[in-house]
Copies of this chain bind each other. A is one copy, B any other.
Amino acid sequence: MNATRAKKSSDKRRLILDAAVKVFARQGFHACRVSDIADEAGVAYGLVYHYFASKDKVLDTLFLERWNVMLDTIREVDAQDMPVREKLGAIASFIVDSYRHDPDLMKVIIVEVTRAANSFGQTHLGQIREAYDLIAQIVIKAQAEGSFKDDIDAGFAAMAFYGAIEQMLTGWIFGLLPADEEHFERAKWLVVETVCGGLETTTVGNTLP
């Protein structure tokens, strides 16, 4: 049957991808060998090249798979009719939950792609920018409807928001922040509370007394 064959085939492909996540997370993309991935997956060296054209393509695949899910989520959230705070909260939630669900994969995506300005970060700059732009759009709308101050550049605000979240993940990745269930939830809340608190028009305190 075709389905069985297809299933079996993609099983091994998936096996390799999952093994790659573990290996990349443990040793880093540059430090690991393709044979490490094959060993971790329990398959022969050559099979990696049967499913992927190069070591790079393995990482590309991992990144794009997950990043596109995130982009879709952000688009969906934005399309809904809810206050900015909730929209940003949903995005923060999604990212933190992604980490909670698969810390290795998020580590790889952040360390090897999102922040790798000279390698994969450049390759996937378009995808990465897309995320920032979508968040900026949310900020712009909030400014237009008056819930966010409009003297703050939306692009910069989006970067600050995204950067704050990514730094939380970085804290967990480096083992600098406690990574239990409660802290995951508090982190979501903190980012939204902090960033929205500073951007909302309801804020009173200002630079001068």
Interface residues of chain A, those whose CB is within 8 Å of chain B, are 26-28, 30-31, 85, 107, 110-111, 115-119, 121, 125, 128-129, 132, 152-153, 155-157, 159-168, 170-171, 173-174, 176-177, 183, 186-187, 190-191, 193-205, 207
Contact = CB atoms under 8 A, between A and B. Distances in A.
Contacts of A128: 174
Given A166-B163, A177-B159, A198-B198, A111 B116 contact: yes
A190 B160 contact: yes
A30 to B, nearest CB: 5
A31 B119 contact: yes
A203 B206 CA distance: 9
27 contacts: A28-B118, A31-B118, A121-B174, A128-B174, A129-B174, A152-B190, A153-B183, A153-B190, A155-B171, A156-B168, A156-B187, A159-B168, A159-B171, A160-B167, A160-B191, A160-B195, A163-B165, A163-B168, A164-B167, A194-B198, A195-B198, A196-B198, A197-B197, A197-B198, A197-B203, A198-B198, A202-B203
A200 B193 contact: no
